């Protein structure tokens, strides 16, 4: 029997009612209800960005981003379908070949949202030819390593540094395959900024771009965030 109050406004997600509050987006309401919609650039602390397109759904038969589309009563939303998951898998494969995402050698393995989402979507190989773009590794900061080869351009660190830390340390520059994260300092080096480990930007990265020095593998493989439970299981368990 449903526990949703009769007066609660709902939309349908893959055939099940999801309640929502006024102003909530589809992904906000779904996450609060314990329903997983794949995503990378969306973060509950920040306004929706809509850049990764991984949260693409169909709303009344038309494509939309779950992070930007607002919930409304009576909407028929499709997310967990063979077509949409195949599309997401392709997007993930493209992200893996556009940077250095060799998971076994990455300190973020087991804590990486990109890796965990690839597992969730059943991605078994990159499929496409590797691009191997030449992006720098910046070790100029005494406490923080910046490996731009792993950046997925989600801009979470850009937004965190601007909106939370008030430092505006990061931006996105370049075009096409040359698009990359850049550091706003005279030298372009992180060591010439006042970034601190306590900054929100230092901990918000979903992949292995911003890493704390001298802390490599302090939490062993097997005990990390995504090692024991899948993304969808964790979202279900977090629902009230």
Q: Which long-range contacts (CB under 8 A, 24 or more apart) does 168-172 make?
A: 169/193, 169/195, 169/201, 170/201
Same domain, 63 and 143: no
Sort strands 56-59 and 210-212 into parallel, antiparallel or unpaired: unpaired
Same domain, 138 and 72: no
Q: Is residue 191 domain-resident? A: yes
State the DSSP H helix or E strand holding residue 146, giving kind and residue range, or none if neither: strand 144-147
What pLDDT, in 10s, does the model give residues 119-134? 999 998 888 988 877 8
Q: Is residue 69 domain-resident? A: yes
What pLDDT, in 10s, does the model give residues 186-225? 999 999 999 999 999 999 999 999 999 988 878 888 889 9
Task: Name the nearest CA neighbour of 131 among 104, 102, 155, 96.
Answer: 96
Q: Is residue 178 domain-resident? A: yes
Residue-range definition of the domain harbouring residue 74: 10-80
Q: Is residue 67 domain-resident? A: yes
Q: Is residue 226 domain-resident? A: no
What pLDDT, in 10s, does the model give residues 163-181? 999 999 999 999 887 889 9
Same domain, 96 and 75: no
Reported as a pLDDT band with limits 50, 70 and 90, residue 3 is: low
- Domains held by the chain: number: 2
Same domain, 73 and 94: no
For range 29-36, the mean pLDDT = 97
Same domain, 75 and 118: no
25 near 8, Cβ under 8 Å?
A: no
CATH number for the domain that contains residue 18: 3.10.20.740
CATH number for the domain that contains residue 118: 3.30.70.20
The reported pLDDT for the residue numbered 232 is: 93
Q: Is residue 228 domain-resident? A: no
Q: What φ, ψ does residue 180 adopt, rounded to 5°?
A: -155, 165
């Amino acid at each position: 029997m449903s526990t949703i109050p009769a007066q609660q406004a709902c939309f349908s997600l893959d055939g099940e009612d999801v309640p929502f509050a006024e102003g909530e987006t589809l992904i906000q309401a779904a996450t609060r209800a314990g329903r997983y919609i794949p995503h990378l650039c969306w973060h509950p602390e920040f306004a929706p960005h809509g850049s990764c397109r991984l949260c693409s759904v169909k709303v009344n038969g038309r494509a939309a981003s779950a992070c930007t589309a607002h919930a409304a009563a009576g909407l028929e939303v499709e997310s967990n379908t063979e077509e949409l998951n195949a599309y997401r898998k392709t997007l993930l494969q493209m992200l893996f070949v556009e940077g250095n995402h060799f998971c076994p050698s990455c300190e973020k393995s087991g804590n990486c949202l990109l890796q965990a989402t690839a597992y969730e979507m059943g991605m078994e190989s990159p499929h496409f030819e590797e691009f191997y773009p030449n992006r720098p590794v910046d070790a100029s900061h005494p406490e923080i390593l910046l490996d731009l080869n792993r950046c997925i351009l989600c801009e979470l660190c850009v937004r965190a540094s601007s909106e939370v830390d008030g430092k505006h340390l990061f931006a996105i520059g370049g075009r096409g395959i040359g698009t990359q994260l850049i550091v706003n300092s005279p030298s372009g080096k992180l060591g010439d900024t006042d970034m601190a480990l306590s900054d929100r930007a230092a901990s918000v990265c979903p992949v292995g771009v911003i890493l704390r020095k001298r802390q490599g593998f302090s939490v062993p493989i097997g005990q990390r965030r995504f090692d024991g439970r899948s993304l969808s299981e964790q979202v279900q368990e977090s629902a009230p």
